[in-house]
């Protein structure tokens, strides 16, 4: 009996130490996707909260499993376990189910709240082709991400609808990504900004984020889109200061000038004969 009580105490203490230690480590360590945008920060917070709650529960269940499997075997033979403890105990069952229910519901509520903060009204927007108004610091800068097999291109309607092969964004400016595809389903994943949204043909998927850190980042396609899906990554996406951005836009506008007349007019979705016909392999 004394052995068992000691064992319980030891297991509980080990668990508390592991739980607290793990939670502290989590709180101190870098949590993906990082702090490079408001969206990313909020996602990091959610992942941190989930981890901080999940780790003690996870380690607690493991500790309980360890205890029952290894330590509790020293317990008296089955005959000494009371009859009603053998097949069930309503109080224990109810407590367990109620506890898990409460934890899970709280997580769901928390997630919903965070979602509402992150992405009010985000998702499919109307398929209208309206042109946006010029952006100021308070208004979002609209950047269209066009996915096709097998590269992303970007259009800036605010600056005449120029199309670029590199993504450059001004820091501390709210960006409104409009993501669409020309052929099959792709997915635009800007890991550092915490932005991921599927690019679906004839669909406009909207995500907003405010980049907060200058730097060079990686953009990748995260929905299997054919042969070169694995190559559809770009290490040259940049977040730069507002003045650098203005310079870059100027350069791009000059570069693009001779080809602008060949580009389709800016629209949130692109339909038409330039899309591959069904059943035909698009080279």
Partner 1 sequence: MSEVSPTGLTVIDDVKGGGHTLIFTSRLVIASNTTLQLSLLFAFLYLRANNFGSMWHPSGVGTPPQVLALIALALPIVGVVALLAVSNAVSSARESSAVTGLLWLAFLATVLTGAVRILLMYQFNWTLNSAGTYADVATLWYAVLLAEFIGVAAWLLSLVMGHVRGTDRLGSAHARAILEQWTYITGVSIAVYLLIQYAS
Partner 2 sequence: MSTRPTLARRLNEWGLLLGLVGAVIGFIAGYALGSGAISNFYGAGGEPTSLGSDPGIILGYAMSAAGFLAGMGFFNYPIGRLFGAKRPTEEDNAYLHGESGGLGRYFRMTTDHKVIGMQYLVVILAFLFIGGLGAMFIRTELLTPVPSIANAQSYLSLVGLHSTLMIFMASTAIIGPFGNYFVPIMIGARNMAFPRLEALTFWLLPPAGLILLSTVFLGGFTTGWTGYAPLADQNVLGMDSYLMGFALIGLSIALSGLNMIATILTKRAPEMPLSRMPVFVWSVLVTSFLGALAAPALIAAVLMEIFSRTYQATFFIPAGGGSPYLWENLFWFFGHPEVYIFVVPAFGLVMEMLPAFARKPLWGRRVGIGGMVGVGVLSFLVWQHHLFVSGIAPSLRPFYMFSTEMISVPTGIIYLVALGTLWRARTRFGTPMLFIFAFFFNFLIGGFTGVFLSDVPSDFSLHASYFVQAHFHYTIMGGEVFALMAGIVYYLPKMTGRTMDIKLLRYQFWAVFLTFNGTFISLIAVGIMGMPRRDISYAAYLQPLNDSASIFALALGLSMSLFLGILIWEVVIKQRVAAANPWESLGVEWQVPTPVPTFNFDRMPVSWSLPDNYDTGQPAADFGPAVPALSGA
Counting beta carbons within 10 angstroms of the beta carbon of residue 274, is it exposed (0 to 12), middle (13 to 18) or buried (19 or more)? exposed
**Of 149 and 173, which CB lies nearer to partner 2 in the complex structure?**
149
**Of 10 and 105, which CB lies nearer to partner 2 in the complex structure?**
105
Buried-exposed string 60-92: b where 16+ CB fall within 10 A, e elsewhere: eeebeeebeeebeeeeeeeeeeeeeeeeeeeee
3-state class of 279 per DSSP?
Answer: coil
Question: At closest approach, how far in Å is the CB of 220 from partner 2?
Answer: 6
CA distance 173 to 136: 9
- Counting contacts by CB under 8 A, is residue 271 touching partner 1? yes
Closest CA to 184 of 84, 276, 116: 276
Among 28, 279, 281, 283, binds partner 1 (CB under 8 A): 279
Kindly indicate which of the ranges 64-72, 130-138, 237-245, 275-283 contains the residues binding partner 1, using the contact rule CB under 8 A.
275-283
**Of 33 and 170, which CB lies nearer to partner 2 in the complex structure?**
33
Kindly indicate which of the ranges 6-14, 19-27, 79-87, 270-278 contains the residues binding partner 1, using the contact rule CB under 8 A.
270-278
**Of 231 and 242, which CB lies nearer to partner 2 in the complex structure?**
231
- Counting contacts by CB under 8 A, is residue 202 touching partner 1? yes
CA distance 71 to 29: 34
**Of 11 and 50, which CB lies nearer to partner 2 in the complex structure?**
50
CA distance 146 to 153: 5
CA 222 distance to own-chain centroid: 11
Token pair of 127, please? Answer: 């398929």
Question: At closest approach, how far in Å is the CB of 281 from partner 1?
Answer: 15
Question: At closest approach, how far in Å is the CB of 210 from partner 2?
Answer: 15
**Of 124 and 260, which CB lies nearer to partner 2 in the complex structure?**
124
Do residues 146 and 165 touch, judged by C-beta distance below 8 A? no
Query: In the block, which residue shows the tokens 């927007």?
Result: 125
**Beta-carbon count within 10 A of 206 CB:** 19
- Counting contacts by CB under 8 A, is residue 281 touching partner 1? no
Question: At closest approach, how far in Å is the CB of 271 from partner 1?
Answer: 6
- Counting contacts by CB under 8 A, is residue 273 touching partner 1? no
Alpha helix stretches (DSSP H) within the chain: 2-28, 38-66, 83-87, 90-118, 242-256
Q: How many residues bind partner 1 (CB under 8 A)?
A: 5
Decide which of partner 1, partner 2, none touches 50; Cβ closer than 5 to 8 Å per partner kind.
partner 2
Among 76, 258, 265, 278, binds partner 1 (CB under 8 A): 278
Residues making contact with partner 1 (CB under 8 A):
202, 271, 277-279
């Amino acid at each position: 009996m004394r052995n068992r009580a000691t064992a319980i105490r030891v297991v509980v203490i080990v668990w508390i130490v592991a739980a607290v230690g793990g939670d502290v480590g989590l709180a101190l360590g870098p949590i993906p996707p990082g702090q490079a945008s408001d969206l990313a920060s909020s996602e990091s917070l959610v992942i941190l909260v989930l981890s901080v709650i999940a780790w003690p529960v996870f380690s607690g269940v493991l500790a309980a499993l360890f205890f029952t499997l290894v330590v509790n075997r020293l317990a008296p033979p089955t005959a000494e376990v009371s009859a009603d403890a053998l097949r069930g105990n309503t109080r224990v069952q109810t407590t367990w189910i109620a506890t898990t229910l409460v934890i899970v519901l709280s997580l769901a509520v928390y997630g919903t709240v965070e979602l509402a903060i992150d992405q009010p009204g985000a998702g499919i927007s109307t398929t209208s082709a309206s042109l946006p108004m010029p952006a100021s610091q308070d208004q979002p800068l609209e950047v269209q991400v066009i996915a096709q097999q097998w590269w992303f291109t970007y259009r800036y309607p605010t600056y005449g609808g120029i199309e670029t092969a590199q993504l450059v964004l001004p820091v501390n400016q709210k960006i409104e990504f409009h993501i669409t595809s020309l052929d099959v389903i792709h997915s635009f994943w800007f890991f550092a900004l915490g932005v991921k949204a599927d690019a679906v043909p004839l669909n406009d998927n909207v995500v907003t984020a405010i980049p907060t850190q200058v730097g060079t980042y990686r953009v990748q396609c995260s929905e299997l889109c054919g042969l070169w899906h694995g190559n559809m990554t770009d290490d040259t996406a940049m977040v730069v200061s507002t003045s650098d951005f203005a310079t870059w836009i100027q350069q791009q506008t000059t570069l693009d000038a001779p080809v602008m007349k060949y580009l389709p007019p800016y629209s949130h979705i692109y339909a038409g004969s330039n899309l591959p016909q069904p059943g035909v392999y698009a080279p």
